[in-house]
Amino acid sequence: MDLSELIEIAEHERASRRSIRIRCCTALGCQSAGALSLKQRLEEAATEVERQDIEVIGVGCMGLCGNGPLVMVDPDGVLYEHVRAADAPSIVAALDGGEATAPLGDPQHPFFTGQKRIVLEHSGIIDPERIESYIAAGGYQALYHVLHEMTPADVIDVITRSGLRGRGGAGYPTGLKWATVAKSHGNRKFVVCNADEGDPGAFMDRSIIESDPHKVLEGMAIAAYAVGADQGYVYVRAEYPLAIQRLQKAIAQARRLGVLGAQIFDAGFTFRVDIRVGAGAFVCGEETALMASIEGRRGQPRPRPPYPAESGLWGQPTLINNVETYANIAPIIRHGAEWFASIGTETSKGTKVFALTGKIRHTGLIEVPMGATLRQIVEEMGGGVPDGHVKAVQTGGPSGGCIPATLLDTPVDYESVQRVGSIMGSGGMVVMDDATHMVDVAHFYMEFCKDESCGKCIPCRAGTAQMLHMLDVIRAGQATPADLEQLEQLCLMVKETSLCGLGQSAPNPVLSTLKYFRAEYEALLNHNADRATTEP
């Protein structure tokens, strides 16, 4: 495989396209609403009218998951929502002036126009099950460019100057991490893609893999070249069967074409990728636990240092980034560090993908420049709460916090979100309305953390159980102001003493709701302070 062959595939793919393309979303959300039978009906309908200029393709996520199945017809850009299989013939007929029976969507809605798509640039446009479709969109050219025209140091320099920070939550500078792994000595080095997207309410990584798996693989390959690794692992949750299946297919196709495997692009670079399927443990999103799991052990974190960059998988230097981080790599190489750095804010560059869910009119996946405000995202793009008001926006999953409606003008970047007591996290954004009781929300997350605590360190294992119990007591109206104070003390202790990020952040939902919605806790105090019951 060399560049001319790559371009040949791309040109052949583009030349074989038909003028009218009916794109049918086949990502999980739409599949659950019947997208596969819809796609089949669309294909049949296109065949029935005997038009050679129509093609039906299955694509990845278009974003507006709540209104699926979604169908987009090119080149006119007509969007249909809530499409049923029975609507298929009318959609094809509409191409000849008929009227489609499916509701029309509005591609000019702020939900779409407010976005800036880098990570999701191909999402909903290309066929994720065909590598040719990715290559036609310019895929793997960045890898070729890197292997033939850049040294590993050049690559790291570009990533560093781009200002890209880890999209998994903590926002560690990606270039710095790569540089550390590159400098570390080991018999072998590994590159790991963290696709253990465990935050309930987050599905960015699933969607990226389902919609554009090769982009992640290309990013990993570039990273491997930069740090000197020859083996990669993608650690995916078992809860994501479609993503696993598409990734498997993508890896097989990439190997067949020689863009993964030995001697990639004849540049003396070898990189293999294997999938490791998780087995239902939230803590495995923590990097040391994730590595333990890849090694076939209980997914329990260990103290850092040593950091994975120095001593990771099997004691070798290991680079761990998350899906979205890798998906940013090829575009940065293609367009340059300055281009990327021109997007976003002073300290948070580029874009961020969010999964917008909860009590909101338009649920789905959006990608916005860093620094967009919560109000823009929730009210303009998301359309606000149907029949009600936004009470709070939860970001960062169980590790994050609830941001009250009064702070909706907070720009979304790493520092600003942290300043208001939450974290950027991986990108889950759950909107809560007036009907949501914040003590219940805290309880919900605490129950999650308690169930997911690995049990290794005492503050997290026993602390989450105790915090949950105290929330139970509060909800039962049996708590006193002293109990509330003790809960706060315990929260601080667990936050400061837990071994890993899960425990350190487990108190956040309680602390943030206490900070902004303390009255809801206080209203529950001293109602039924008698905890000694004689009930049999």
Partner 1 sequence: MAARTFTINDQLVSGREGETILEAARENGIYIPTLCHLDGVTSVGACRMCLVEIEGSRTLRPACVTQVVEGMVVHTDTERLRNYRRIIIELLFAERNHICAVCVANGHCELQNLAIAIGMDHVRFDYAFPVCEVDISHGRFGIDHNRCVLCTRCVRVCDEVEGVHTWDIAGRGADARVITDMRQPWGESTSCTSCGKCLLACPTGAIFRRGATVSEMERDPTKIAFIVAARDQRW
Partner 2 sequence: MSFLDLDEWLFELARHVELVYSPLADIKAYPEHVDVALVEGAVANADNLHLIRQVRERTRTLIAFGDCAVTGNVTALRNPLGAPGPILQTLYVERADMSGQIPDAPGIVPALLGRVLPVHAVVPVDLYLPGCPPPAPRIRAALEQILAGGEVLLAGREMIKFG
Partner 3 sequence: MAVTRSQRPTPESAPHPSGDNRFRLLEAAMKKHQYRPDALIEVLHRAQELFGYLSTDLLLYIAHSLHLPPSRVYGVATFYHFFSMAPKGQHSCVVCLGTACYVRGSAAILAAAERHLGIKAGTTTPDGHISLETARCLGACGIAPTVVVDGTVTGHQTPEQVLIWIERLAQMVE
Check binding of 461 to partner 1 (CB under 8 A). Answer: yes
> Is 193 or 487 the residue whose CB approaches partner 1 more closely?
487
Neighbours of 277 (CB within 10 A): 16
Check binding of 463 to partner 1 (CB under 8 A). Answer: yes
- Using the 8-state DSSP alphabet, how is residue 140 labeled? T
First to last CA, the chain: 77
Q: Contact, 472 vs 464, CB < 8 A?
A: no
- Nearest distance in Å: CB 530, partner 2: 9
Radius of gyration of the chain (CA): 24
> Is 153 or 476 the residue whose CB approaches partner 1 more closely?
476
Neighbours of 376 (CB within 10 A): 18
Neighbours of 321 (CB within 10 A): 27
- Using the 8-state DSSP alphabet, how is residue 203 labeled? -
Q: Name which of residues 470 to 499 contact partner 1 (CB under 8 A).
A: 470, 473, 486, 489-490, 493, 496-499
- Nearest distance in Å: CB 451, partner 2: 21
293 binds, among partner 2, partner 1, partner 3, none (CB under 5 to 8 A by kind): partner 3
- Which position has the token pair 């790569």? 178
Q: Contact, 31 vs 22, CB < 8 A?
A: no
Helix axes 481-497, 458-475, angle to 10 degrees: 160
> Is 151 or 526 the residue whose CB approaches partner 1 more closely?
526
Say how many residues touch partner 2, by CB under 8 A.
Answer: 6
Q: Contact, 30 vs 70, CB < 8 A?
A: yes
Q: Which region, judged by CB under 8 A, interacts with partner 1, from 83-91, 128-136, 186-194, 297-305?
A: 297-305
- Nearest distance in Å: CB 104, partner 3: 19
Fill in the per-residue mask, 497 to 536: x = in contact with partner 2 (CB under 8 A), - = not in contact.
Answer: ----------------------------------xxxxxx
535 binds, among partner 1, partner 2, partner 3, none (CB under 5 to 8 A by kind): partner 2
Q: Which amino acid is at 360?
A: I
Check binding of 296 to partner 1 (CB under 8 A). Answer: no
CB hemisphere CA count around 279 (13 angstroms):
8
DSSP string, 28-76: HHHHHTTHHHHHHHHHHHHHHTT-TTEEEEEE---S-GGG-S-EEEETT
> Is 98 or 386 the residue whose CB approaches partner 3 more closely?
386
497 binds, among partner 2, partner 3, partner 1, none (CB under 5 to 8 A by kind): partner 1
Distance between CA 153 and CA 136 in Å, rounded? 29
For residue 465, the SS3 value is helix
Q: Contact, 190 vs 318, CB < 8 A?
A: yes
Check binding of 50 to partner 2 (CB under 8 A). Answer: no
- Longest C-alpha distance within the chain, in Å? 83
> Is 104 or 238 the residue whose CB approaches partner 3 more closely?
238
Helices and strands: H and E segment counts in the chain: 22, 13
Check binding of 418 to partner 1 (CB under 8 A). Answer: no
In the β-sheet with 190-195, what is the strand arrangement from edge to edge? 272-277, 231-236, 190-195, 318-322
- Nearest distance in Å: CB 531, partner 2: 7
Check binding of 279 to partner 1 (CB under 8 A). Answer: no
Distance between CA 164 and CA 534 in Å, rounded? 60
Q: Contact, 149 vs 143, CB < 8 A?
A: no
Check binding of 192 to partner 1 (CB under 8 A). Answer: no
465 binds, among partner 3, partner 1, partner 2, none (CB under 5 to 8 A by kind): partner 1
Check binding of 303 to partner 1 (CB under 8 A). Answer: yes
278 binds, among partner 1, partner 2, partner 3, none (CB under 5 to 8 A by kind): partner 3
> Is 184 or 464 the residue whose CB approaches partner 1 more closely?
464
Among 415, 451, 481, 526, binds partner 1 (CB under 8 A): 451
Residues of the shown chain interacting with partner 3 in the complex, contacts defined by CB under 8 A: 28-29, 31-33, 64-66, 68, 197-203, 206-207, 237-240, 276-282, 293-300, 355, 357-359, 363-365, 394, 397, 428, 430-432, 436, 444-445, 448, 452, 454
User: CB burial class (10 A; 0-12, 13-18, 19+) of residue 256?
Assistant: exposed
> Is 489 or 526 the residue whose CB approaches partner 1 more closely?
489
> Is 298 or 531 the residue whose CB approaches partner 2 more closely?
531
- Nearest distance in Å: CB 455, partner 3: 9
- Nearest distance in Å: CB 343, partner 3: 25
* Cis omega (within 30 of 0) for bond into 173: no
- Nearest distance in Å: CB 445, partner 3: 8
Check binding of 469 to partner 2 (CB under 8 A). Answer: no
Q: Which residues bind partner 2 (CB under 8 A)?
A: 531-536
